[in-house]
Amino acid sequence: MTLATHDARWSAGGRMIVDGITLSAAPNRILGLIGPNGSGKSSLLRLLCRLRGVASGVVTLDGRDIATLPRRELARRLAFVEQQATTDIQLTVCDVVRLGRTPHRAAFTSWTEADEHAVSAALERVGLAERHDQPWHTLSGGERQRVHIARALAQDPRELILDEPTNHLDIQHQLSILRLIRRLGLTCIVALHDLNLASLFCDQIGVLHAGKLVASGPPENVLTPGMIRQVFGVEVHIRNGAGGRRHIEYVVDVEPDERP
Amino acid sequence: MSHAVIGPNWAARIGVAALALAALIFAVALAVSVGEMAIPLPVAFRALGNGLFDLGLPVSAIQQGVIFDYRLSRAVMAALCGGALAVSGAILQALLRNPLAEPYILGVSAGASTGAVCVMVLGFGSATLGLSGGAFLGAVAALAVVALLATGAGGASDRVILAGVAGSQLFNAATATIVTTLASAEQARGVMFWLLGNFGGVRWPDLCVATPVALIGFVVCLVHAKALDAFAFGADAAQALGVAVTRVRLVLLATTALLTATMVAIVGTIGFVGLVIPHAARFLVGPGHARLLPACLVIGGIFMILADILSRILVPQQILPIGIVTALFGAPAFAVILYRARRPA
């Protein structure tokens, strides 16, 4: 048992953004959340890591209501990687990763060997060990995302929540970020846009539509032409490609040689 | 830079602290010896020894009086004021994630002066404590107005500055209205002179209020150094790192309001120090707040003492308002910092 929600609701500006969602993540597996823009993915992730409080329902971690956990204790268990978080402050890569040790350190305590070890291990795991002293502003989008993941790993979490970690990255970096997440072996909950990537990298998929969970289960059961038509309003063919991998093809009524 | 967050070992830390203290004492001694009646540095040190430890060293009574009762109190107040404003600026820049945030620009100083003028003109007790209390209420009101405006305008960090400009104008107008309609001519002249900022009237009782406020405020800020670091990527990121964002914001905003209000009540509104010193300090010690805040305290203090000395000697027979001096020397310094810290494209 790990992170779960039971009938979680959250509204903003009089509109129900998360409307009675019940789901649970499997330990050490990747749960992908997909859905159109504004379907409530980001808001649900923020409820899961208690950046917002549920209006009704409950979010549990190992069966305990997370609203009852001290914030620091929660941050030692569960890490969150935001979409494209950046800063104007002149930080280096290791300055950023060190922030991950915040929940482990009391005020006025010095930096310890254990902290230093956690930071270098985290940088090692995301493949940026040699970038230790590089200024944050000189990194590419993909590298920044890796540094954020390293910062999250330095928190020493068992659950990792990522909000569209592949957004605005080229396809090579999208794949390498998702491969990295897959290798971590943590319980991950990831919001994704690309249906093929979701089907390729997630163990379970939850589909959100207008704040409700409309389907959940293994990718092959969830990503059907009927479901995609209903939620995204797009026609698709699903083909079994090389290695038994499923490939979702969008049916678009544009002839290859059509010009405006 | 690479170990900016960790800091060196204890020996190095004590060394740096001793160096900073020595620089501060030297600045105070300089401030004490410079003035219309020039006093040589050795005499200044002897007078300090007499005043502080009753050593009975040979110093003329006039010199002893000028040094201890006028110039020393003034120099210590300048140091506290510069340090407090610089620390407030660093805190606001971190919490609001805006490099332009500082008490003056955000209207906190304007609010504090409105509060202090209310106490002065309408007369709810005119002791330092009464003035500081009025200034604190005004500063909190200004922060509340600015926060409401900024949130209403979408809450982005650039909105905060716009809201601060609006808040500043509002509270400055309120101050002007109170002064022109309710104050006597004599009060009005006094208020206007005080508003531009000057250390002329500072005496030891003022320091009995300012010193504890500045030191306690500084310690409160220092306790939150790690939480401030965590705000680098925004409030959500800080909260995900286990920081109690709402509580930290409330405590630190109240602390900056108190620091600013106390200084405004005693010496008037002084701009630029809160903006420039944190940037200069970041340039020297890096962005980690465990080092940045002490650096702001010391550099802000030294800067303000030097600015006060200049305000007394720049124009013979006349004392310039301190705010003019901080801007005259702060602005070019700021330009240099901006230029040297520019990011490679």
Q: Write out pLDDT tens, residues B22-58.
A: 999 889 988 988 877 778 888 888 887 787 777 777 7
Structure tokens that stand for B166 in this block:
């609006």
Neighbours of A23 (CB within 10 A): 19
Residue B229 CA to residue B71 CA, distance in Å, equals: 38
Residue B148 pLDDT: 87
Neighbours of B155 (CB within 10 A): 12
Half-sphere exposure of B183 (CA within 13 A, CB side): 20
Q: Are B170 and B164 in contact (CB under 8 A)?
A: no
B212 has pLDDT over 90: yes
Mean pLDDT of the residues in chain B? 85
Pick from A94, A99, A107: CB nearest B232: A99
Residues A43-97: tens digit of each pLDDT: 999 999 999 999 999 999 999 999 999 999 999 999 999 988 888 888 999 999 9
Cβ distance A102 to B5 less than 8 Å, yes or no, reads: no
Q: Are B188 and B179 in contact (CB under 8 A)?
A: yes
Pick from A80, A91, A94: CB nearest B287: A91
Cβ distance A80 to B240 less than 8 Å, yes or no, reads: yes
Cβ distance B287 to A74 less than 8 Å, yes or no, reads: no
Residues in chain B with CB shorter than 8 Å from the CB of A137 are: 343
Cβ distance B242 to A103 less than 8 Å, yes or no, reads: yes
**How many Å lie between the alpha carbon of B295 and the closest alpha carbon of chain A?**
16
Structure tokens that stand for B199 in this block:
């250390």
Bridging pattern class, strands A204-209 and A187-191: unpaired
Q: Which one of A48, A66, A71 makes the best mutation probe of the B interface by having the most chain B beta carbons within 10 Å? A: A71
B79 has pLDDT over 70: yes
Cβ distance B239 to A51 less than 8 Å, yes or no, reads: yes
B255 has pLDDT over 90: yes
What is the average per-residue pLDDT within B124-132?
A: 67
B184 has pLDDT over 70: yes
Cβ distance A85 to B99 less than 8 Å, yes or no, reads: no
Residue B341 pLDDT: 58
A18 has pLDDT over 90: yes
What is the average per-residue pLDDT within A231-253?
A: 86
State whether residue A206 is helix, strand or coil.
strand
A109 touches chain B (CB under 8 A): no
What is the average per-residue pLDDT within B221-248?
A: 94
What is the average per-residue pLDDT within A238-254?
A: 82
Residues A113-155: tens digit of each pLDDT: 999 999 999 999 999 999 999 999 999 999 999 999 999 999 9
Pick from A102, A111, A138: CB nearest B241: A102
Residue A76 — left, alpha, or beta (φ > 0 → left; ψ -120 to 50 → alpha)? alpha
Q: What is the DSSP letter of A31?
A: E
Report the percent of chain B where pLDDT is more than 70: 92
Residues B274-318: tens digit of each pLDDT: 988 999 899 889 899 999 999 999 999 999 999 999 988 888 878
Residues in chain A with CB shorter than 8 Å from the CB of B287 are: 89-91, 95
State whether residue A234 is helix, strand or coil.
coil
Residue B5 pLDDT: 41
**How many Å lie between the alpha carbon of A50 and the closest alpha carbon of chain B?**
8
- Give 3-state DSSP helix, strand, coil % of chain A, rounded to 5: 40, 25, 35
- Per-residue HEC secondary structure of B177-240 comes to HHHHHHCCHHHHHHHHHHHCCCCCCCCHHHHHHHHHHHHHHHHHHHHCHHHHHHHHHCHHHHHH
Beta strands in chain A (DSSP E): 3-12, 15-24, 30-34, 56-61, 64-65, 78-81, 159-163, 187-191, 204-209, 212-217, 236-240, 246-250
Q: Which residue of B has its CA nearest to A154?
A: B241
Cβ distance A71 to B243 less than 8 Å, yes or no, reads: yes
Residue B343 pLDDT: 53
Residue B45 pLDDT: 80
Residue B312 CA to residue B31 CA, distance in Å, equals: 10
Cβ-based contacts under 8 A for chains A and B: 89
**How many Å lie between the alpha carbon of A213 and the closest alpha carbon of chain B?**
25
Q: How confident is the model at residue A204 (pLDDT cuts 50, 70, 90)?
A: very high
Residues in chain B with CB shorter than 8 Å from the CB of A73 are: 242
Q: How confident is the model at residue B89 (pLDDT cuts 50, 70, 90)?
A: very high
Pick from A74, A94, A99: CB nearest B230: A99
B319 has pLDDT over 70: yes
Determine which of A21-25, A182-186, B157-161 has the lowest per-residue pLDDT on average: B157-161
State whether residue A78 is helix, strand or coil.
strand
What is the average per-residue pLDDT within A194-214?
A: 94
**How many Å lie between the alpha carbon of B125 and the closest alpha carbon of chain A?**
40
Residue B4 pLDDT: 41
Q: How confident is the model at residue A157 (pLDDT cuts 50, 70, 90)?
A: very high
Neighbours of B224 (CB within 10 A): 24
What lies within 8 Å, CB to CB, of A260 at 6+ separation is none
What is the average per-residue pLDDT within A20-41?
A: 94
What is the average per-residue pLDDT within A87-112?
A: 89
Cβ distance B344 to A102 less than 8 Å, yes or no, reads: no
Residue A21 pLDDT: 95
Q: Which residue of A has its CA nearest to B344?
A: A138
Q: Which residue of B has its CA nearest to A99?
A: B230
Q: Could you tell me which of A127, A179, A133, A125 has the C-alpha nearest to residue A154? A: A125
Residue A39 pLDDT: 93
Determine which of A142-156, B137-151, B242-256 has the lowest per-residue pLDDT on average: B137-151
Q: List, as ranges, residues 74-93 from A with C-beta within 8 Å of B.
A: 74-76, 79-80, 82, 85-92
Residue A243 CA to residue A254 CA, distance in Å, equals: 30
Orientation angle between helical segments B204-223 and B245-267, nearest 10 degrees: 160
Q: Which residues of B touch A (CB under 8 A)?
A: 1-2, 4-7, 97, 99, 223-227, 229-230, 232-234, 236-237, 239-244, 282, 287-288, 341, 343-344
Residue B6 pLDDT: 43
Residue A90 CA to residue B4 CA, distance in Å, equals: 11
Cβ distance A91 to B341 less than 8 Å, yes or no, reads: no
Burial class of A135 by CB neighbour count within 10 A (0 to 12, 13 to 18, 19+): middle
Residue A20 — left, alpha, or beta (φ > 0 → left; ψ -120 to 50 → alpha)? left
Q: Could you tell me which of B148, B156, B28 has the C-alpha nearest to residue B83? A: B28
Determine which of B32-36, B104-108, B126-130 has the lowest per-residue pLDDT on average: B126-130
Cβ distance A51 to B240 less than 8 Å, yes or no, reads: yes
The more confidently predicted of residues A202 and B195 is A202
Q: b/e for B284-303, b at 16 or more Cβ within 10 A?
A: ebbbbbbbbbbbbbbbbbbb
Cβ distance A133 to B239 less than 8 Å, yes or no, reads: no
Q: Are B309 and B339 in contact (CB under 8 A)?
A: no
Q: Are B86 and B277 in contact (CB under 8 A)?
A: yes
Q: List, as ranges, residues 155-174 from A with C-beta within 8 Å of B.
A: 155
Cβ distance B233 to A132 less than 8 Å, yes or no, reads: no
What is the average per-residue pLDDT within B255-279?
A: 90
Cβ distance A87 to B224 less than 8 Å, yes or no, reads: no
Residue B1 pLDDT: 36
B92 has pLDDT over 90: yes
Report the percent of chain A where pLDDT is more than 90: 80
Q: Are B273 and B301 in contact (CB under 8 A)?
A: no
State whether residue A88 is helix, strand or coil.
coil
Burial class of B339 by CB neighbour count within 10 A (0 to 12, 13 to 18, 19+): exposed
B186 has pLDDT over 60: yes
**How many Å lie between the alpha carbon of B99 and the closest alpha carbon of chain A?**
8
Q: Are B178 and B121 in contact (CB under 8 A)?
A: yes
pTM of the entire structure? Answer: 0.89
A258 has pLDDT over 70: no
A190 forms beta bridges with A32, A162
Residue B118 pLDDT: 86
Residue B8 pLDDT: 55
B175 to A203, B136, B140, B172: CA distances (angstroms): 64, 15, 16, 5
Determine which of B85-94, B174-183, B325-334 has the lowest per-residue pLDDT on average: B325-334
Cβ distance A86 to B233 less than 8 Å, yes or no, reads: yes
Q: How confident is the model at residue B338 (pLDDT cuts 50, 70, 90)?
A: low
Determine which of A172-181, A189-198, B36-45, B85-94 has the lowest per-residue pLDDT on average: B36-45
Q: Could you tell me which of A47, A92, A50, A93 has the C-alpha nearest to residue A68? A: A50
